[in-house]
Amino acid sequence: MASDQNARPPFPPFTQETAAQKVRMAEDAWNTRDPERVSLAYTADSVWRNRSEFLVGREAIVNFLRRKWEKELDYRLIKELWAFHGTRIAVRFAYEWHDDVGNWFRSYGNENWEFDDSGLMKRRIASINDLSIKESERKYHWPLGKRPDNYASLSDLDL
């Protein structure tokens, strides 16, 4: 329940404001590239589909994120609320990163999230496509970490 010490407000059912807040909190956490910190937003038995990979539980999430951020260097992410209802939120996102030889990519996707009563995500379904870009085509230029509050959104960037 929401009184649990592991609770993650805001809690469902979501409003436009609380759903947008939940999306920004997730973006900020993922931009830390700290797998342990990110994993705490999910239930201990959270179920994921990320591209073609299927995961269950926080330990699997941490291991997945470690592998991800070892490969996807200088990762910067923007998420945007797409829709919400009750305990569910739909998100669109794009992130930029480069590989270990300097090839840049922009990865686009959609996520469907479902939360328990304590505000922890119990299900995450992500579909993602990668686009090779030139470094000169990058749109995310803030220092690593949290996107500045005044930085353009996905819609502002026409992404």
Domain ranges of the chain: 16-136
In which band, very low, low, confident or very high, does the pLDDT at 6 lie, cut at 50, 70 and 90? confident
52-101 pLDDT, tens digit per residue, is: 999 999 999 999 999 999 999 999 999 999 999 999 999 999 999 999 99
pTM of the model: 0.95
The residue type found at 152 is A
Q: Selecting from 3.10.450.50, 3.30.70.20, 3.40.640.10, 3.40.50.1860, what CATH number does the domain 16-136 have?
A: 3.10.450.50
User: Percent of the chain beyond pLDDT 90?
Assistant: 96
Alpha-carbon Rg for the chain, nearest whole angstrom, is 15
